[in-house]
Amino acid sequence: MQAIHDLVRDVPDFPSPGVLFKDITPLLSDARAFGQCIDALCEPWREASVGAVCGIESRGFIFGAAMARALGAGFVALRKKGKLPPPVIGMDYGLEYGRDRLEIGRHTLSPGERVIVVDDVLATGGTLEAGRRLVEQLGAEVIGAGVVIELEALAGRARWTGPAPLHALVRY
Ligand code: AMP
């Protein structure tokens, strides 16, 4: 995981003052490290009969789509408000500052389908938890979650409720 760690760039005060932004673009553009990252994200789920990987807009799409391909699963987008055509279901959730909304297409998952939720960064945990709840509202089963980076100081893991494991590749 050292290569992944070394290729995440800290950007202070972006996109707003006080935020230390974790820039994953150097990781994405390094063929070897990106491949290692996708392999590591998939590793816990190789024998798990995953039906779909749900990636969270927007950087979760990059990792989630590559994982779906590697696991022989489908890819489903969890998008920000107003981006998906109807019919959708949505969920509002709290961010560190303010609120946001995630949506999912109503017919994208089957009841009982085994799903992983994926994003680049776990910060306060509201985004990932909203994704989990949306998947469950469609009757699918969330068997776990994966993130590349966990920001431990923000304690997002505490908001990931239930028994499904949440795997993080690197922690800060
Ligand atoms: P949260 O709901 O607080 O866990 O925020 C997670 C979402 O916000 C993810 O989709 C991340 O892409 C983004 N995010 C939050 N904090 C950061 C950060 N410090 N650097 C990069 N992305 C972040």
What CATH number does residue 71 fall under?
3.40.50.2020
Whether residue 5 lies inside any domain: the answer is no
Helix (H, G, I), strand (E, B) or coil at 38: helix
| Nearest ligand 1 atom to alpha carbon 130 | 2
Q: For the chain, what percent of residues have pLDDT higher than 70?
A: 99
Whether residue 155 lies inside any domain: the answer is yes
Whether residue 118 lies inside any domain: the answer is yes
| Nearest ligand 1 atom to alpha carbon 119 | 10
Domain containing residue 134 = 47-171
Whether residue 95 lies inside any domain: the answer is yes
Whether residue 102 lies inside any domain: the answer is yes
108 lines ligand 1 (CB under 6 A): no
Whether residue 143 lies inside any domain: the answer is yes
Question: pTM to 2 decimals?
Answer: 0.97
Q: What is the pLDDT of residue 1?
A: 81
CA atoms within 13 A of residue 49's CA, in its CB half-sphere: 4
Side chain identity, residue 93: Y
Domain count along the chain: 1
pLDDT digits (tens, 9 = 90+) for 15-55: 999 999 999 999 999 999 999 999 999 999 999 999 999 99
